[in-house]
Chain A
Amino acid sequence: MEAVLFFAAAIGALGGAIGVVALRNPFYGVLALIVHLFSLAVLFLLLSSAFVAAAQVVVYAGAVMVLYAFVVAYVGGETEPIGDPIPGQKFLAPLLGAALFIELSIAVLGSSLQALDTHGPDVHAGFGDPAGIGRLLLERFLLPFEASSILLLLAAVGAVVLAARREPSEEAAGGSSEHSSEAPAERSEDPPAASFHAGGVPS
């Protein structure tokens, strides 16, 4: 029973991963990642980590992916150009991916960790419960806990600063600067507040 669940979740995770990498439209990529995250939650449950599975679903699949979806909707997903300006990249990338996988597997399987062969020790019933994790967070790992809350604050402030609306002149200057690119993305300003300067292309 457990094996069936494992393989199902594994195939889901792997499928989601490959979908993210292969699908052209970023929106479909976001959806593939959501599938991947749900599969991982199942795997966490199989490993008796209930709280982590729940956090995965709520935080990751719930909040982070929704954020992704918003941004993709705002930005719009366009297909990527075909040609690759970097010589050898398309050829080397799968090669290196395969090399990485093989090396990591050898490193893990070839290591002298006996417990890998097992199911793991018998754990008490409340192994993956929030109580234990909460106790660890507040007692033993208090410092990382507080540090990560500061990190969250920083990220929030940083995001606001980065994405804040600037003066119209700045954005116009940023838009008209030259770049050595093939098809510069041409997007018009959506919000009407910024299009009072002349020459705005109606969306």
Chain B
Amino acid sequence: MSATSWGWLVLLFPLLGSIAIAVGFRALPARVAGAIGTATIGIAFLCGVAMLVNLLGDAPDARHHASSLWDYASVAGLDVKLGIFVDPLSTFMVLVVTGVSALIHLYSFGYMRSDEGYHRFFSYLNFFVFSMLLLVLAGNFVLLIVGWAFVGFASYALISFWYRRTTATRAGMKAFVINVVGDIGLVLAALLIFRELGTFEYGAVFAKAPEVFSTNEWTITAICLLLLVGAFAKSAQLPLHTWLPDAMEGPTPVSSLIHAATMVTAGVYLIARTHVLFVLAPTAADVAAFTGLATLLVAATIALVMTDLKRAIAYSTMSQIGYMVVGVSIGAYSAGMFHLMTHAFFKALLFMAAGSIIAAMANEQNIDRMSGFGKAMRFTSATMLCGGLALAAFPLTSGFFSKDEILAYAGARGGMYVTFTVLGYFGAFLTAIYTFRLLFRVLHGEPCPEAQELIETGHVHHAHPFNPATGEEEDTEVGFPGAEHHIAEQSPPMRIAMAVLAFLALFGGLVQVPGVDNVIADFLDPVFADSPLAAIHPSTSWSWIGLGIGAVISLAGIGVAHRLYVARPEAPARLKERFALVHTFLFNKWYFDEAIDLFVVRPALAVGRFANRVFERAVVDGLVLGTEDVVGGSGRVVRFVQSGFVRSYALLLIAGFAGLALYFLLSSS
């Protein structure tokens, strides 16, 4: 079987799983549905491995295969096929997506067990994995857009999973609308590409682009900027990031899968895939890099003051994706993808642990009310610690190697890119602080009442389901972690998933230790060989110096967090008082939501109101009613002919005949 056949199988299984669970949702018992869902992703992962093995059988520069099933649209110069493209980059993404998804499915198998919408959840989740794989494996821009849109829909469906919760549905709509903005950018970019190059296929586009465009021509810059709009909307970079924190309304496995490991990395994948175009438009690449840097810093500062556990982790995701965007924009392609992989591991793990803790807190997500879970939930806190260490780039964890590789590359590229290294290290410092702020606040200290209950009785705290944001009562009929909450300590599937991820978070980085081994880079480099930027390599010694700096910064950050939250617990309150303005600014997320409301939402609503009041009433209604009046009026006039008098009809008849005869007589004379 060729690599592309395995590729088709990878796509097939999640789709089949989604359909099977959706069709049989009444017939299948809950555990069977969950098992089907998890199994299909597991099989997809195995097919991905087979695809990898098959691909490794080829010579390094021959590892790209395209395969198409049938013509999608073949008309008037347009030739779009339903085709996939298998190369190291897509195989890498497939493995990351299916691997992490399989573990998250396993986690959800236990976590969502008391939820009424169990079947719906697994069907949607499988559909999401299918669409993400479609996005990643697509061989042309049209199929990419299809996968992109499907992923957006799946995200919407899963964010508003508990659809009777107003906050959830609003968050889903917000996410979808912002995603659509990105979709517009992506579609426009694809259309421009077609107009300039005449094709949508990846191979043809990337081969023709250097010939057709000269560097920094305005068309290629426009294309790249439009691609960036799409990428930023999907990856929650400034300014299209406001949907990500609200997306935490969805169930925790959803946050873990979509909004940490897979969907939000689609933008990074896009930039990496179209790197040829970005090489031709360095301005656009720099725009991307600086936006990534800005997001990195802004999100890190907000995460410092966030009190909602999941939202804090969401801002952390945003910040780390900023690193990835910086990486693939400045030329550190393999480093960026490596960080994507390690981030998937530790962020998914962090969300899983957070889910476990929130379940123990009976769905309370405010860390002000949490403390002391280190004593109450040993397994969860251990895995959370692993994830936190990786996120904070503690020496020798996976995050340590991946993050510093990007920063080392930036330093090696030199020039203005050294700012990226400097600010990147500053961001790493902030990352360490906020990560361990969360960890110390939640795990350390005296057990809060819920934790106490857990320690003493072994039962999870029960609470009346209500929405803390709006105070309204939850409707458990559409699903909601019901009366039974599930924590990792009580659910074997959750423990297995978290254990695997903890192992990967700690030791996953050892595949790419500078000077020792280069597994990821060796695998991915042939894809990026056509970029001059890929030739830049930081020397091993500089890499190790960078790693050393990174280790120092990480430990410093952990130390600051320890001082603030363990040694001197009253310090944060004093700091908040002294920097009250700054704190308010950060707590309100730099007022991005308000700004968007003012500059985008209100004008749109005003236009709509104008259209309704003026245009609709005056013009459209005027036209329609006016036509109605004209027709009625003319009818009223014509009606007089039908008088009912036989003699007048006879008169008209004879008069008509006389007229006709006259006409014929005259015309023939």
Q: Give the interface of A toward B (CB within 8 A).
A: 85-86, 89, 92-93, 96, 99-100, 103-104, 106-107, 110
Contacts and interface: CB of A to CB of B under 8 A. Distances in A.
Contacts of A93: 651
Contacts, number: 32
A110 B662 CA distance: 13
A103 B662 contact: yes
B662 to A, nearest CB: 6
B648 interface: yes
B647 A86 contact: yes
B624 interface: no
Given A85-B645, A110-B665, 9 more contacts: A86-B647, A86-B651, A89-B647, A99-B662, A100-B654, A100-B661, A103-B662, A103-B665, A106-B665
Interface of B: 643, 645, 647-648, 651, 654-655, 657-658, 661-662, 665, 669
A103 B651 contact: no
Nearest to A97: B654
11 contacts: A86-B645, A89-B648, A92-B651, A92-B655, A96-B651, A96-B655, A100-B658, A100-B661, A103-B662, A103-B665, A107-B665
Interface SS of chain A: helix, strand, loop or mixed? helix
Contact of A96 (B643, B648, B654): B654
Nearest to A104: B661
B668 to A, nearest CB: 9
A152 B345 CA distance: 102
Contacts of B651: 86, 89, 92-93, 96
Nearest to A106: B665
A81 to B, nearest CB: 14
Contacts of A99: 658, 662
A104 B660 CA distance: 12
Nearest to B645: A86
A106 B665 CA distance: 8
Contacts of A110: 665, 669
A96 B658 contact: yes
A86 B655 contact: no
A86 B643 contact: yes
Contacts of B645: 85-86
Q: Which 5 A-B pairs have the closest CB atoms?
A: A103-B661, A99-B658, A86-B648, A86-B645, A96-B654
Nearest to A96: B654
Contacts of B643: 86
Nearest to B648: A86
B654 A107 contact: no
A113 B664 CA distance: 17
Contacts of B661: 100, 103-104, 107
Contacts of A89: 647-648, 651
A141 to B, nearest CB: 28
Contacts of B665: 103, 106-107, 110
Contacts of A96: 651, 654-655, 658
B416 to A, nearest CB: 96
A186 to B, nearest CB: 23
Contacts of B648: 86, 89
Nearest to B660: A103
A99 B643 CA distance: 25
Contacts of B669: 110
